[in-house]
Amino acid sequence: MIHEFIPPQRFFPYLTWTDIEALNDKENTVIIQPVGSIEQHGAHLPIVVDSAIGIGVLGKALEELDTSIPAYALPNLYYGKSNEHWHFPGTITLSAQTLLSVLMETADSLYRAGFRKLIFMNSHGGQPQVIEIAARDIHQKYGDFLVFPWFTWRVPNAVAELFDEKELEEGIHAGGIETSLMLSLLPEQVRMDKAVCEFPPELPPNSLLSMEGKLPFAWLTNELTTSGVLGDATIATREKGDRLLESLAEGWRRAIAEVHQFRQPNI
């Protein structure tokens, strides 16, 4: 099925050009562009993790979205900026410039077709800056094009209810959180017998620096882990994943509905 997790009636490529031309209220129709990656996620998870999580969450959210709200998913962008993982075989990465060009030119096409609301749904932690630059530049180019550069995990969700502080702060890649969600979405592709626990080296006590906090430092994955895992994948369960998926989908359902109603603030 080409639409994968996305409900077929919400899958933009299944429309004809005449369907698109005839759409009512295109200015408030919400178009969602999932952006993922193909990159290593340890020996227990496939390299499709970020892409699978994005379209899995989005598909469930669109299933639950009020049918009166016009919203469509574009095909997932499987390749992203993943050069932090390039030492591990199987990782496929685009440059920041290439990804930025793809996002900008996609927006050009959508704007030309009459759409004015676009969500970039990014599921890979190595590229939010590119997504944000694209959104700002698109809005600067087209003042009436409303663009939302969002990270899949930023909507309200249950992750803090299910995992401890260490996993929340340091389990940023292929740990218990992502592994649980993959057990819910693609359980047949998860090899729990190969799951490991590996956290990055500790920083000095009371350090102001962090991997992804307010004062981050640049890093490559092979500098921090030999397995490709940053977190404790052994604590993952299908039950946690099901709860995570449910909560993320509900957060995205609410967010998409809000974008449909959103009007750009103006003085």
Q: Judge whether residue 108 has pLDDT over 90.
A: yes
Under 8 Å CB-to-CB from 14, ≥6 apart: which residues? 3, 8
pLDDT tens-digit readout, 74-102: 999 999 999 999 999 999 999 999 999 99
Which residue, 69, 65, 51, 41, is CA-closest to 5? 51
For residue 187, pLDDT beyond 90:
yes
- The closest alpha carbon to 245, from 166, 128, 159, belongs to 159
Six-digit token pair at 68? 């009166």
Question: Is the separation of the CB atoms in 220 and 88 below 8 Å?
Answer: no
**Alpha helices (H) in 65-127, listed in sequence order:** 96-112
Amino acid type, 235: I
* CA dist list (Å): 68 to 106, 177, 250: 26, 33, 17
Task: Give the C-alpha separation, 204 to 221, whole Å.
Answer: 19
Average pLDDT score, the chain: 97
Q: What is the C-alpha separation between 173 and 179, in angstroms, rounded?
A: 9
> What is the C-alpha to C-alpha distance for residues 83 and 245, in angstroms, rounded to an integer?
28
pLDDT digits 0-9 by tens, 25-71 = 999 999 999 999 999 999 999 999 999 999 999 999 999 999 999 99
Least confident of 106-115, 208-217, 242-251, 255-264: 208-217
Helix (H), strand (E) counts: the chain? 8, 6
- Report d(CA 208, CA 211) in Å as an integer: 11
Class of domain 8-261: alpha beta
**Boundaries of every domain in the chain:** 8-261
> What pLDDT is stored for residue 213 in this prediction?
82
Q: Where are the alpha helices (DSSP H) in the chain?
A: 17-22, 49-64, 96-112, 128-141, 159-162, 165-170, 176-185, 238-261
pTM above 0.85, yes or no: yes
User: Rounded to an integer, what distance in angstroms lies between the CA atom of residue 19 and that of residue 5?
Assistant: 22
Ordered strands of the 117-122 beta sheet: 71-73, 30-35, 117-122, 146-151
pLDDT in tens, 141-164: 999 999 999 999 999 999 999 999
